[in-house]
Structure 1
Amino acid sequence: MKKLRKPFPVLQQYTYLNTAASGLLSEKVMEFRQDHDLDFLISGSILKDKQGELLTGVRETVGEFFKCAPNRVALTPNFSYGFNTFLEGLNKSKKVLLLSGDYPSITWAVSSREFEICYAEIDENLEQHIAASMEKEHPDVFAFSIVQYISGIKLSIDFLKNLKQKFPETLFVADGTQYCGTEIFDFDDSGLDVLICSTYKWLNAGYGNAFILFNESVQGKIAPKAVGFNSLQGKYKAHEGNFIGKFEPGHLDTLSFGSLKTALGLLKDVGMELVQERIATLSKRAKQEFLAMELLGDMVVKRDQHSSIFNIKGDTQLYNFLKSENIICSQRGDGIRIAFHYFNTEEELDYLLKTLREYEKT
């Protein structure tokens, strides 16, 4: 366990249960960033000449990690940039299905345009609501988070895959920001058409980098308008009008994207089987303990499957008490959001529970 925690110095100071807000910087990523900027300092444009090779390596690493051919991987600064570029490529007559209360970067981006919008409610029966909305509305696009950022409610990939088979003409566009890095994920086998992910959370890759994965069939269904000289640069963007190039019109930051490649390398070294197992084990026990303490809302209590994000009942006073005990978490919605990653421990969960019980006595 010490080996898993050693790359993240923050864990020596705090009980860090806040990956859902921001992932940690690892020593491995920091070392890459220091070396990169030193190279830039002493070599200037010579480093830029290597940009294509580095970014090609990033694209290939992302594709290998998430099972998507590298010529269907686009690199983008963040989720919102990629999602807005996608939406600009859609005809404004399209109907879009959203989840009510989903992440604002999804709902605001869609509602700020002229699309017809329909909604499915987020509660313990989320899947039934989605299926019913699909049957009734027959949307052209279904845009959603795989894991909800406030409640931690999670849609299973099997559910999404089966739903896609029933509605093959609907474009399934997923936000993987609160999902990717928590379990093994095979994009090409998921049924999703597009997945966009900012990587500063569960992938621990820092800020300024994200990626988009595309199904082969998407290219003929949207027409992105963004274009720039960088749209034609690189091994996988060699011809004019290249699809992924429309999502990469300007120069990409080799510091940020090199950080992503390095962070994925660390996860590969740890092993996603171990990551998935540790997160699942911690989350299962945490849910049982939170249930016993009556800290969870009904819509989470009544669901069998859940992510590693929990929103427990609590106010600002409790939040400040947890902070005073060096427990790092976030206030979200009406409660306090707790999130467990693979480097968290049973002992940290015990400490959280002990602290919560002490607060109850005050």
Structure 2
Amino acid sequence: MKNFKKQFPLLEQYTYLNAAASGLLSEALLDFRQEHDLDFLIGGSLFREQRNEVFLLARKAVGGLFGCAPNLVALTPNFSLCFNLLMAGIDPSKKVLLLKNDYPAVNWTVTSRGFDVCYAEINEDLEKNIAEAVAKERPDIFAFSLVQYIDGIKMDQEFLKQLKSQYPALLLFADGTQYCGTESFDFSTSALDVLGASAYKWLNAGYGNGFFLFKDHMQELFTSENLEVKELQSRNKPYHGSFIGKFEPGHLDTLNFGSLKVAVDLIKQVGMEEIETRIKDLSKLAKQKLSEKGMLENSVVNRKQHSSIFNIKGDEKLFQKFSGSRIICSQRGDGIRVSFNYFNTEADLDQLLKQIN
């Protein structure tokens, strides 16, 4: 499958460098949604009786892509909702390490609940800063984004494994919203205890769906007494009374989680290895070209590895110049954020660079 513009029609009209803000609607996803709503139209509650199969298939698809048993995959409308439920079930006396200026949905969820909080700086020495903070503060939990949403600084997975080896009792809770779908990842062999993500960005699954992956030992932290939503579980849900059921209060949406399954299937069809190769090659080239033009901060330039998200130096005038040239990107922090997904090409990068000259 090489003709990505055919699967994502918007690419025929725009240079789309905004996956970090929102993924695209694919032809495959549109076909599924139209068929889904037609089936609902003519089936009503008869159609809804098949919903548990939809959710099971979504769990299997997500678990298969990221290396997690389906019974430890929770389906959630977004990262923020499930992370709030997760932290609501954690003993508030625990000490939590955060990254300064990390994504608000991560940090606010922790700080608003009164946990004892400590911080590490986000810069070119990110991993060193974390190691020093853990050694000094001895937190019980480290909650963080795998890729930073403003400038794309990416956590070193090998460092996390070393950290976990040195501090096996330290729980690692990660937000993968800006990461999942960009490279191959096996949750089962990772250092993470929990990984959550909204799927509307790099997975191109549309809005209203996401997932959380849990290591098996996390079940021991959640008793029926310390997660208040337990009574909201519908008695006829297959996960009623289970660990995963605690994170799925109320009804789930067949349209959105069916969309998640279709999006994962499309990724498998393209091939995760090809996606990873395309993104890494384009990211490496973009970093080189943007660095040569002096458009990147040293905290990014000096990193050995980086994501495909870049915050380039630019003001409102440059942003409007991009917009006038049909380049879609976002203003974030003090600059302009551009991001490259597997459907982007060197021609897209060239178009961006042409406007910077």
Give me the whole-angstrom Cα distance separating, in 2, the residues matched to 1:310 and 1:228: 44
SS of residue in 1 equivalent to 2:252: coil
SS of residue in 2 equivalent to 1:151: coil
1:39 is matched with 39
Alignment of 1:218-237 (within 5 A): 218-222=218-222, 223-228=226-231, 230=233, 233-235=236-238, 237=239
Alignment of 1:94-133 (within 5 A): 94-133=94-133
Contact 2:233 2:245 in 1 (8 A): yes
Superposed displacement of residue 173, structure 1: 0.2
Alignment of 1:253-292 (within 5 A): 253-292=253-292
Which residues of structure 1 form unaligned runs of 5+? 358-362
Give me the whole-angstrom Cα distance separating, in 2, the residues matched to 1:27 and 1:183: 22
Give me the whole-angstrom Cα distance separating, in 1, the residues matched to 2:168 and 2:10: 45
Whether 1:348 and 2:351 are equivalent positions in the alignment is no
Contact 1:231 1:245 in 2 (8 A): no
Give me the whole-angstrom Cα distance separating, in 1, the residues matched to 2:168 and 2:267: 33
Contact 1:231 1:248 in 2 (8 A): no
For 1:167-210, what per-residue CA distance to the aligned partner results, in whole angstroms no more than 9, with x for missing partners? 11111000000000000000011110000100000000000011
Give me the whole-angstrom Cα distance separating, in 1, the residues matched to 2:313 and 2:108: 27
Q: Identity of paired residues, percent?
A: 58
Superposed displacement of residue 227, structure 1: 2.3
Contact 1:230 1:245 in 2 (8 A): yes
**Residue type of the alignment partner of 1:227:** K
Give me the whole-angstrom Cα distance separating, in 2, the residues matched to 1:124 and 1:91: 33
Superposed displacement of residue 28, structure 1: 0.3
Contact 1:295 1:312 in 2 (8 A): yes
Give me the whole-angstrom Cα distance separating, in 2, the residues matched to 1:102 and 1:231: 35
SS of residue in 2 equivalent to 1:211: strand
Contact 2:88 2:227 in 1 (8 A): yes
SS of residue in 1 equivalent to 2:7: coil
Contact 2:331 2:337 in 1 (8 A): yes
Superposed displacement of residue 301, structure 1: 1.1
Change over 3 Å in CA distance of 1:253–1:277 after alignment to 2: same
**Residue type of the alignment partner of 1:170:** L
Alignment of 1:1-362 (within 5 A): 3-222=3-222, 223-228=226-231, 230=233, 233-235=236-238, 237=239, 240=241, 242-357=242-357
Superposed displacement of residue 4, structure 1: 2.3
For 1:31-58, what per-residue CA distance to the aligned partner results, in whole angstroms no more than 9, with x for missing partners? 1011111111110001110001111111
For 1:264-323, what per-residue CA distance to the aligned partner results, in whole angstroms no more than 9, with x for missing partners? 000000000000000000000000000100000011111111000000000011001100
Give me the whole-angstrom Cα distance separating, in 1, the residues matched to 2:35 and 2:329: 32
Aligned residues: 354
Change over 3 Å in CA distance of 1:244–1:319 after alignment to 2: same
Give me the whole-angstrom Cα distance separating, in 1, the residues matched to 2:340 and 2:356: 16
Change over 3 Å in CA distance of 1:268–1:234 after alignment to 2: farther
Contact 1:207 1:256 in 2 (8 A): yes
Moved more, 290-299 or 216-225: 216-225
Contact 2:233 2:246 in 1 (8 A): no
Change over 3 Å in CA distance of 1:2–1:304 after alignment to 2: same
Give me the whole-angstrom Cα distance separating, in 2, the residues matched to 1:136 and 1:5: 50
1:360 is matched with none
Give me the whole-angstrom Cα distance separating, in 2, the residues matched to 1:126 and 1:90: 26
Give me the whole-angstrom Cα distance separating, in 1, the residues matched to 2:233 and 2:9: 37
When normalised by structure 1's length, the TM-score is 0.96
**Residue type of the alignment partner of 1:172:** L
Superposed displacement of residue 232, structure 1: 5.2
**Residue type of the alignment partner of 1:344:** N
* Moved >6 Å (runs of 4+): none
SS of residue in 1 equivalent to 2:24: coil
Which residues of structure 2 form unaligned runs of 5+? none
SS of residue in 2 equivalent to 1:20: coil
Contact 1:227 1:248 in 2 (8 A): no
Give me the whole-angstrom Cα distance separating, in 2, the residues matched to 1:187 and 1:356: 39
Contact 1:232 1:245 in 2 (8 A): no
Give me the whole-angstrom Cα distance separating, in 2, the residues matched to 1:281 and 1:314: 24
